[in-house]
Amino acid sequence: MDKMSVKEHLEMCFDKKLRFWKETFNSNPKIPYIAEIDNNIFIEGTVDDEGYAQWLPIMQTRAIDFVSFENKLGFKLHEQMKEYLSSHWFLELIGRMANDITIYFNKVSDMDDIYSLLFSELNADTYLITRGITSGRKLLLIGMATIKGDDSNAIYFDNETAEMIFINSDNNILNRAARIAAGDIAGNCIPYKDGLLKEEKICIMAL
């Protein structure tokens, strides 16, 4: 059986997310409305009294000029990262993994988000080298994670190996935390109960 592509993994995650919201809340996913986002992700007319609006992931239709980004970065982006950034526009991916880990991926809702992901941490590599965490690898900040109640963990994508690394700036043990293949995350489905849930639900990347 062929390994699933990044796009296929994302579509599987979105499907789980949409089904979870429909079955649990009889609604599409909701987050606080952001007026600046104009890619038709938010569903028109769904803003409620608390300022939350329903949204749906949107498949991207225009090619992204990664060559210009790579010229500015000074290195080639891994194909998995290119596929991740050019597949869909989305607002929220949150998931629960084994070992009491909750992951929060940054939204990819427009070109500004892509630019921020690629360039907001240009000095991160130097910073991480000085801490002895990595040896010259190019790392891209893609989200945050809560590990055993500690919510100060950043999630970096290793552009060389296509792995994700959890890094905690204050905890050298977590700085050496297990590296996990990015494509394997979607398969880590475990029951999770929190907030408004009355019972456990299978909801990796589906809150």
Question: Rg of the chain's alpha carbons, rounded to an integer?
Answer: 17
Tokens of 117: 């992901």
Amino acid 200: pLDDT? 40
The type of residue at 12 is M
* pLDDT for position 185: 40
pLDDT value of residue 115: 92
Q: Give the tokens for residue 38.
A: 């104009």
List the beta strands (DSSP E) in the chain. Answer: 30-32, 52-54, 58-59, 88-89, 93-97, 101-105, 139-147, 150-158, 163-168, 180-181, 191-192, 201-202
Q: Please state, in angstroms and rounded to a whole number, the distance separating the CA atoms of residues 69 and 207.
A: 32
Main-chain phi, psi angles of 149, to 5 degrees: 85, -10
| 131 within 8 A of 175, measured Cβ to Cβ | yes
- The distance from CA 67 to its chain's CA centroid, rounded to whole angstroms, is 23
- CA atoms 125, 127, 132, 133: torsion sign: negative
Per residue in 130-187, pLDDT (tens digit) is 444 555 678 888 888 888 888 888 888 888 888 888 777 554 443 443 333 333 443 3
- Rounding to the nearest 10 degrees, give the CA dihedral for residues 80, 43, 32, 59: 0
Using alpha carbons, select from 170, 189, 191, 186 the residue that is nearest to residue 84: 186
Residues of the chain with pLDDT under 50: 1, 126-132, 171-207
Token match 């552009």: residue? 159
Instruction: Give, in order, the Cα–Cα distances in Å from 90 to each of 35, 169, 189.
Output: 15, 28, 20
- Facing residues of 90 across strands? 108
**What per-residue confidence (pLDDT) applies to 197?**
42
Question: For residues 27 and 147, what is the distance between their CA atoms, to the nearest angstrom?
Answer: 29
